[in-house]
Amino acid sequence: MLNYDMIIDNIRDLFNEPKEFIPLHVPHFSGNEKKYVNECIDSTFVSSVGKFVDQFELAIAKYTGAKRCVVCVNGTNAIHLALIASGVDAGDEVLTQPLTFIATVNAISYAQATPVFVDVDKDTMGMSPTSLRKFLEEETIIKEGNCYSKTTGSKISACLPMHTFGHAVRIDEIKTICEEFHIILIEDAAEAIGSVYKGKHLGTYGLLGTFSFNGNKTITTGGGGAIITDDEELADKLKHLSTQAKVPHKWKYEHDQIGYNYRMPNINAALGLAQIENLDYILKQKRKLAKSYKQFFTSLEIDFFVERENELSNYWLNAVILENKEQQQIFLTKLNDAGVMCRPIWELMTEMVMFKDCQKTNLDNARWLSDRVVNIPSSVVI
């Protein structure tokens, strides 16, 4: 029987909040946020054109080690643009994982493609290269340099793993498999800004990587997203598509293909630039919190989810793994009733009515995690 009073008291002590509500994750502002936003307002360039957009893109590229960055409205749009720009066509299939936020799969649907669900690994909560290889070896065929499903006959054009809570999937192994089967690799790194695996920032292993800067992320622009790549031509294409595919001209309105109004406003980029300037401090404080959580929950013999060898996680959302579904639900009830916000990991995408008939592998690991994982308060503690 868990001592819930002890767990609640420990979290309240960590956040120095003895009585009031403790949210799951709030943004941390301690740098140039007000200065840059006020400067943006004074300039009157608060929409999709302005210096902060350019500066924020350069800052993200420099921080992650990517050659180029294109910012956009949100992380979902970032995935949508990445899929389209990389050549995913209507009717294609995209390999992804069932244990993810629905934005991953919605974006596949926006591209008029169909998701195929591959199981996850318990120690990453992300796509399993073992499950991926088994599916591709048994269920696909290579024809004329492309991968096709034996069951549907559709082209499998992309693979979209997601780095859960900022923890890295075995992305190097997945990259090798994708290259072997002629499949484009796109990383959903929505939760992983600041996370590094084997010396490389997450999002830089694939042809494209995407981020989210929603209000609850490690750094925020209020609402926003970004795409990184080392492919200069592809980056130019992404920028073009995100600006309604408008052909540059001093006054003429000419558009050369279907485009999207996915541009990040300058005022959001101003906020983001200040945030990324302070990212190292934010990561330092979040890792200190994770260390405290690990020590405490280990003393209670509760499994606290930690980074693996060769990984430096941003610990966006801290997570505990409980014994079963019943204990998960009791934990959620006790802590939320006490004003300590906790959330379960997502329902499997294969349980959603829109995706229940999609092709999938054995999903034992994903179901096991879905029944046991709980996120606990993870904001920056000063």
Report CA dihedral (10, 13, 19, 21) to the nearest 10 degrees.
Answer: -80
Note the helical H segments in 140-209. Answer: 171-180
Phi, psi (deg, nearest 5) at residue 215: -60, -20
Six-digit token string for 381? 């503690």
CA distances from 111 to 77, 157, 189, 365 (A): 10, 12, 19, 28
Can you tell me the distance from the alpha carbon of 268 to that of 247, in angstroms, rounded to the nearest whole number?
24
What region, left, alpha or beta, does residue 261 occupy, with left being phi > 0 and alpha being psi -120 to 50 degrees?
A: beta
Report CA dihedral (294, 299, 300, 305) to the nearest 10 degrees.
Answer: 20
pLDDT in tens, 254-305: 999 999 999 999 999 999 999 999 999 999 999 999 999 999 999 999 999 9
List of residues 6+ apart from 299 with CB closer than 8 A: none
pLDDT in tens, 142-191: 999 999 999 999 999 999 999 999 999 999 999 999 999 999 999 999 99
Note the helical H segments in the chain. Answer: 4-14, 33-43, 51-64, 75-85, 102-110, 129-139, 171-180, 232-242, 266-277, 279-299, 325-337, 364-370
Can you tell me the distance from the alpha carbon of 349 to that of 80, in angstroms, rounded to the nearest whole number?
18
Query: DSSP letter at 247?
Result: P
Six-digit token string for 164? 């859960």
376: nearest Cα among 345, 346, 341, 348: 341
Query: Is residue 342 a contact partner of residue 375, using CB atoms and an 8 Å limit?
Result: yes
Q: For the chain, list residues with pLDDT below 70.
A: none
Residue 382's pLDDT is what? 80
Residue 350's pLDDT is what? 98
Angle in degrees, 0-180, between the axes of helices 266-277 and 33-43, rounded to the nearest 10: 160
Residue 48's pLDDT is what? 87
CA distances from 94 to 112, 148, 219, 282 (A): 10, 11, 28, 34
Query: Is residue 174 a contact partner of residue 181, using CB atoms and an 8 Å limit?
Result: no
Q: Which amino acid is at 269?
A: A
Can you tell me the distance from the alpha carbon of 267 to that of 51, in angstroms, rounded to the nearest whole number?
10
Can you tell me the distance from the alpha carbon of 79 to that of 160, in angstroms, rounded to the nearest whole number?
9
Q: Which amino acid is at 77?
A: N
Six-digit token string for 88? 């995913």
**Cα R_g (the chain), whole angstroms:** 21
Can you tell me the distance from the alpha carbon of 132 to that of 175, in angstroms, rounded to the nearest whole number?
11
Domains of the chain, with CATH numbers?
A: 4-26+280-376 (3.90.1150.10), 33-277 (3.40.640.10)
Six-digit token string for 256? 């050369």
